[in-house]
């Protein structure tokens, strides 16, 4: 008799700061299969190869391709995943208009792992 355990949900963490990616990976990996990307472009390349991701946690401001552009790409190519995207930001000021239209989960940095876990539970339940 085979006793396979249920597969953990896969979460893509996108942040240009290696320390934040590492902390989120360590903090989430017990409950989730965590995949990491350093910016939106790397995230898109990963998703084009393997779109089997259940949720995205992304920084808003990153070099190359930021969270806004990543979310726009998700809306066009993986709209279901776009609805399961959590945006983290260190400052809402310059992005207030976009954030008002985003309508999803927004977490202010620095964020606790508990807040991120709670957001992940909400987006994956929807």
d(CA 60, CA 80): 19
pLDDT at 110: 87
pLDDT at 8: 93
Listing DSSP states for 27-62 in one string gives HHTTTSEEEEESSHHHHHHHHHH----SEEEEES--
Q: Which residues pair with 55 in a beta bridge?
A: 11
pLDDT at 96: 84
Which domains, and CATH codes, for the chain? 10-125 (3.40.50.2300)
| Closest listed residue to residue 101, CA positions, set 70, 78, 58, 72 | 72
What is the chain's pLDDT, residue by residue, as a tens digit (126 residues)? 555 557 899 999 999 999 999 999 999 999 999 999 999 999 999 999 999 999 999 999 999 999 999 999 999 999 999 999 999 988 777 788 898 899 889 999 888 999 999 999 999 997
pLDDT at 116: 96
């Amino acid at each position: 008799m085979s006793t396979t355990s249920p597969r953990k949900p896969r979460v893509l963490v996108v942040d240009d700061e290696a320390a934040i990616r590492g902390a989120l990976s360590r903090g989430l990996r017990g409950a989730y299969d965590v995949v990491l990307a350093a910016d939106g472009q790397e995230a898109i390349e990963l998703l084009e190869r393997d779109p089997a991701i259940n949720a995205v946690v992304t920084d808003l401001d990153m070099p190359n391709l930021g969270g806004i552009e990543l979310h726009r790409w998700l809306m066009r190519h993986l709209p279901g995943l776009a609805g399961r995207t959590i945006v983290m930001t260190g400052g809402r000021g310059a992005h207030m208009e976009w954030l008002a239209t985003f309508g999803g989960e927004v977490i202010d940095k620095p964020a606790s792992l508990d807040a991120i876990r709670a957001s992940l539970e909400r987006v994956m339940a929807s």
